[in-house]
Amino acid sequence: MIDENKYNKTHFGFRLVSKKHKELMVANVFNSVAANYDLMNDLMSFGIHRLWKRLTIQFSCVRRRQKVLNIAGGTGDMTDKFSRLVGENGIVVLADINDSMLKIAREKLRNNGYINNIIYIQANAEVLPFPNDIFDRIIISFGLRNITDKEQALQSMYRVLKPGGCLIILEFSRPLFIPLKKFYDFYSFYILPKIGKLVTNDESSYRYLVESIRMHPDQDTLKAMMLNSGFESAEYFNITGGIVALHRGYKF
């Protein structure tokens, strides 16, 4: 007899939960961490996340007048840069499933003066609410691992990408070297959640974030998923010894 329940399950960190509940559980995590999100990113990565994102922006080759979709855009740090690159005649859509993050992004980016070419949309990456073939670039940074159905999300991204456009994924991945992996595991499981507890009084959310990284597909698996979703010339580049990886795929 086929156990239908197992096909309705997915991972929330190391825990198996129903797919319909994971979205709410992830939302609760980001509602909890939103107020201190930028500060914690700096603390957890020793500021290196800024370099990772800077490389991603350079790698995307965003140009003036383009339409850019920044999925899981969070508090808008990358959207800010894309807004400057596309200029007055371009458009950047900051899409995030979490309303708390979007509110922070709106306030921060408006204070920076970039409001005319940015659109804010609360959206699920699995069912993007846009027409076919509309965006020149799609960038998702540290968000794919939180999506329940990654394959469906990749297909949705492919649908809204213009022919000739590309998808850029920046995400935590698998360290390449054993000594680095051992240090990374120790830091992630024993130190990072304690930082979360000290700064935000929320250890469990940061423990989930650590576990979600371990459950995310490795470099080659994600590349294969992109190819299976229709992207061509998919490739990846390891950064900081594979702690993060930058994937790129095209729609021709």
Please give the annotated binding residues for S-adenosyl-L-methionine, written as ranges: 75, 96, 124-125, 141
Q: Are 117 and 86 in contact (CB under 8 A)?
A: yes
CA distance 22 to 37: 20
CA pair distance 133, 122, nearest whole angstrom? 20
**What gap in Å lies between CA 161 and CA 141, rounded to an integer?**
17
| H or E segment and range at residue 37 | helix 37-45
Sign (positive/negative) of CA torsion 96, 97, 98, 99?
A: positive
Q: How far apart are CA 123 and CA 71, in angstroms?
A: 9
CB neighbour list of residue 182: distance below 8 Å, 6 or more residues apart: none
Determine the Cα–Cα distance for residues 143 and 140; give it in Å rounded to an integer: 6
| Residue that has been written with the tokens 């000290």 in this structure | 198
When computed from its CA atoms, the radius of gyration of the chain, rounded to whole angstroms, is 18
